[in-house]
Chain A
């Protein structure tokens, strides 16, 4: 009974039906804005060591620094304002998570579709590479890569792409193999449609729903993995902490009662991931062609 809508309008309308998803979207928008405008809204540039004073270190929330700045969420071991640190850290964490996942999806999707569609030697070759890739524990690939490359945001993103792409390739292949056996693909093949058209118009859309589920999880995983790498002393540089690194820096103080160093960045991280997931959850329901009645 719907009016004629463009697909985008339809998706937007469907999306808006869930209040939870809308609030997730609002939260995510706020977080992205905070990250984008971090230099404008932060009381302090937490990455400029010259602006920090170790004499302001580990002050509880609400304290004032020697220079008269108020640390609303307290300060860390270098006298870094936690609030500013969160804004700047959000930038890095979001960038690392989104950029690495996006690249990994593109690589993994292409590889997985190729493997499933062409089969035979192509499939064999790609899946053996995937096997090699998956045989390495992800932390280990990242660890060895970063040990060779050194610290840095770009290098961390690269390492995370290398870690993730094979998951997508394997999942896409698995789903695509099932889809390939279905009648509509056989029909398309019988119609002698070009391979590219079959892959992109028929196989791809059907592989998307599970991919979105996993990609959603992987954005979170990428951010968490980045934190884990930082926990192990590699990953992003210590002078430009991501959320994960902020958590790690305050980690040692959790048992000694100075909770704010780790707690607030932890909350920011959780809120970020939760909001991404709420949005993506709804998107998946909305995008799934078979759920469209």
Chain B
């Protein structure tokens, strides 16, 4: 540290006194290094097994680890498990990391893993439980303190992925602990890079560095002994806090401020394609879907969305580049896949549909709608980045090829209930997924409640061949083969234009020029990954 300081001093010596003062200021900061980060959403609880929502998980990731982690590209990497393999078609074996200590100094072992896997099911009153991730496990066996075997009823390839979502807590500290015990810090004992110092609900989370963290990069711990996560859900408050120097870094930059921040020499912007894809669901199962008529308001003879030419025409009518440049101000890329480029199962050969209003009109005419028709596009207004602006822009573009489009936007609390109840026939949805086959299973597989397929397939698109490939993939434990199957299923399904793909969002962070962050596809903000430049 001192050497580093000296180098900096030597470099700046030529520029005179001002720089010396600056170096000294830097020196003061180095001895009591604090990082203040503005988070974009409220953290409701620090119980890592209570509510499975991104802001809570983001906070938990500072304090806890999971067996498997994901890297900046959303690909699986070792976490508290150093390796894993399929012993037979229904048994996964995990080798655990040795010499890992919890924040209270106690040693980490397979007992803690078993406890953590069983804990989510004991918390019944959760609107977003973690139980889905451990449900496939039918038996657990400790081979030795650092080897664990997990059995599933059927071959299940996704288990290592699912275990990325289960945080490992200390059995000793968390036995019988309530959510309050986690919030107060009493039970919040993890193995992660930071220890919880204080949680002021709705305001801030204060963390202190875990100096014996196993995951030090090249033997170097994060440079910050103290981290304060400020909860600033209002975009303007968050951006103003950064500009005013109240925080050092913020996540989730509003698109409106991107250009300005990019041009501001005092700040750095880090961006990466996120795993979230936005697209439009089309009703392909009812003969007379709601909110669909000819231009004079009379019902249509049949459901136009059942005709692939109409769906293709609508896709061709969308100017995705204009959306990316104007609505998202460059904070997105055009989508030709359900999952974004770094994600497992992305098919590079599937390109975004080209904008061609002329061809769109021809296709509509060919399908029997030379004068177009009228519909209502539904969208949430507080869920995705610029969701209601996006809906209006899509409506403009459809109007230009003769499809009269009304836009109705609703708060997410109302929107998703109605969407589930089938009240929309043309609706916006955003999706983030670890892998292409998971996305396909939820969004485009034939709805089947018993199998858990097609839970979000609002349009009831159905392709038995793609369903078959998916099922085959989930039973394939070899990653390479499974990815090939996922790609095949995606290619097959997307050929039918079952949804109208729009764009993949970018995740973005802004920070003082002196620090850097490795942007992540999973959108998480990890205090340990902020570095001094």
User: Is A55 engaged at the interface, CB distance under 8 Å to the other chain?
Assistant: yes
B329 to A, closest residue via Cβ: A58
User: Is B59 engaged at the interface, CB distance under 8 Å to the other chain?
Assistant: no
A131 to B286, CA, bound (A): 48
A78 to B391, CA, bound (A): 10
Contact A238 to B381, CB < 8 A, known contacts A50-B399, A255-B257, A256-B256 = yes
* Cβ-defined contact, A233 with B411, below 8 A: yes
B388-417 vs A, Cβ < 8 Å mask (1 yes, 0 no): 110111011101100011111111011000
* Cβ-defined contact, B392 with A252, below 8 A: no
* Cβ-defined contact, B382 with A78, below 8 A: no
User: Is B326 engaged at the interface, CB distance under 8 Å to the other chain?
Assistant: yes
Within 8 A of B (CB), among A152-198: none
CB-CB < 8 A to B396: which residues of A? 49-50, 52-54, 78-79
User: Is B220 engaged at the interface, CB distance under 8 Å to the other chain?
Assistant: no
* Cβ-defined contact, B409 with A233, below 8 A: yes
CB-CB < 8 A to A68: which residues of B? none
Partner of B327, one of A50, A54, A234: A54
Contact A252 to B382, CB < 8 A, known contacts A233-B409, A237-B409 = no
A76 to B, closest residue via Cβ: B389
Partner of A252, one of B254, B388, B411, B413: B254
User: Is A253 engaged at the interface, CB distance under 8 Å to the other chain?
Assistant: yes
CB-CB < 8 A to B239: which residues of A? 255
Instruction: Say how far B232's CB is from chain A's closest CB, in angstroms.
Output: 14
Determine the main DSSP class of A at the interface with B: loop
User: Is A251 engaged at the interface, CB distance under 8 Å to the other chain?
Assistant: yes
* Cβ-defined contact, B410 with A151, below 8 A: yes
CB-CB < 8 A to A257: which residues of B? 260
A78 to B393, CA, bound (A): 7
* Cβ-defined contact, A147 with B411, below 8 A: yes
User: Is A57 engaged at the interface, CB distance under 8 Å to the other chain?
Assistant: yes
* Cβ-defined contact, B400 with A50, below 8 A: yes
User: Is A60 engaged at the interface, CB distance under 8 Å to the other chain?
Assistant: no
CB-CB < 8 A to A79: which residues of B? 396
User: Is B365 engaged at the interface, CB distance under 8 Å to the other chain?
Assistant: no
CB-CB < 8 A to A57: which residues of B? 326-327
User: Is B243 engaged at the interface, CB distance under 8 Å to the other chain?
Assistant: yes
B307-327 vs A, Cβ < 8 Å mask (1 yes, 0 no): 000000000000100110011
* Cβ-defined contact, B327 with A77, below 8 A: yes
Instruction: Say how far B380's CB is from chain A's closest CB, in angstroms.
Output: 9
Instruction: Say how far B355's CB is from chain A's closest CB, in angstroms.
Output: 12
Instruction: Say how far B402's CB is from chain A's closest CB, in angstroms.
Output: 9
Partner of B382, one of A147, A233, A251, A253: A233
User: Is B235 engaged at the interface, CB distance under 8 Å to the other chain?
Assistant: yes
> Counting chain B CB atoms within 10 Å of each CB, which of A49, A150, A151 scores highest?
A49
* Cβ-defined contact, A233 with B260, below 8 A: no
User: Is B240 engaged at the interface, CB distance under 8 Å to the other chain?
Assistant: yes
User: Is A239 engaged at the interface, CB distance under 8 Å to the other chain?
Assistant: yes
CB-CB < 8 A to A52: which residues of B? 392, 396
* Cβ-defined contact, A256 with B257, below 8 A: yes
B221-261 vs A, Cβ < 8 Å mask (1 yes, 0 no): 00000000000000110011001000000000011110110
CB-CB < 8 A to A234: which residues of B? 411
B254-291 vs A, Cβ < 8 Å mask (1 yes, 0 no): 11110110000000000000000000000000000000
A256-288 vs B, Cβ < 8 Å mask (1 yes, 0 no): 111000000000000000000000000000000
Within 8 A of A (CB), among B55-71: none
Instruction: Say how far A136's CB is from chain B's closest CB, in angstroms.
Output: 18
A78 to B390, CA, bound (A): 9
A55 to B397, CA, bound (A): 11
* Cβ-defined contact, A55 with B322, below 8 A: yes
* Cβ-defined contact, A54 with B382, below 8 A: no
* Cβ-defined contact, A49 with B256, below 8 A: no
A168 to B191, CA, bound (A): 60
A58 to B243, CA, bound (A): 23
A143 to B, closest residue via Cβ: B411
CB-CB < 8 A to B235: which residues of A? 252
Contact A256 to B260, CB < 8 A, known contacts A54-B326, A151-B409, A239-B407 = yes
A40 to B400, CA, bound (A): 24
A55 to B321, CA, bound (A): 10
A239 to B, closest residue via Cβ: B407
Instruction: Say how far B305's CB is from chain A's closest CB, in angstroms.
Output: 20
* Cβ-defined contact, A239 with B327, below 8 A: no
Contact A239 to B406, CB < 8 A, known contacts A49-B395, A233-B381, A252-B235 = yes
B413-439 vs A, Cβ < 8 Å mask (1 yes, 0 no): 110000000000000000000000000
A55 to B243, CA, bound (A): 30
A77 to B392, CA, bound (A): 10
A147 to B392, CA, bound (A): 21
B400 to A, closest residue via Cβ: A50
A83 to B470, CA, bound (A): 53
CB-CB < 8 A to A256: which residues of B? 256-257, 259-260
Within 8 A of B (CB), among A214-250: 233-234, 237-239, 249
A55 to B327, CA, bound (A): 9
B392 to A, closest residue via Cβ: A78
Partner of B407, one of A54, A238, A254: A238
A122 to B391, CA, bound (A): 51
A79 to B319, CA, bound (A): 15
A54 to B326, CA, bound (A): 7
Instruction: Say how far A67's CB is from chain B's closest CB, in angstroms.
Output: 12
CB-CB < 8 A to A255: which residues of B? 236, 239-240, 243, 256-257, 260
* Cβ-defined contact, A49 with B405, below 8 A: yes
A204-220 vs B, Cβ < 8 Å mask (1 yes, 0 no): 00000000000000000
B243 to A, closest residue via Cβ: A255
Instruction: Say how far A79's CB is from chain B's closest CB, in angstroms.
Output: 8
* Cβ-defined contact, B393 with A237, below 8 A: no
B261 to A, closest residue via Cβ: A256
Instruction: Say how far B42's CB is from chain A's closest CB, in angstroms.
Output: 16
Instruction: Say how far A39's CB is from chain B's closest CB, in angstroms.
Output: 19
* Cβ-defined contact, B409 with A238, below 8 A: yes
CB-CB < 8 A to A249: which residues of B? 389
CB-CB < 8 A to B397: which residues of A? 54
- Besides the known contacts A57-B327, A77-B327, A238-B388, 6 further A-B residue pairs in the complex with CB atoms under 8 A apart: A57-B326, A234-B411, A237-B407, A253-B256, A256-B259, A256-B260
Q: Can you sample 5 A-B contacts with CB below 8 Å?
A: A147-B411, A239-B406, A252-B254, A252-B255, A255-B256
The 9 A-B pairs of least Cβ separation, nearest first, read: A50-B399, A252-B256, A256-B260, A233-B381, A54-B393, A49-B395, A54-B326, A57-B326, A253-B256
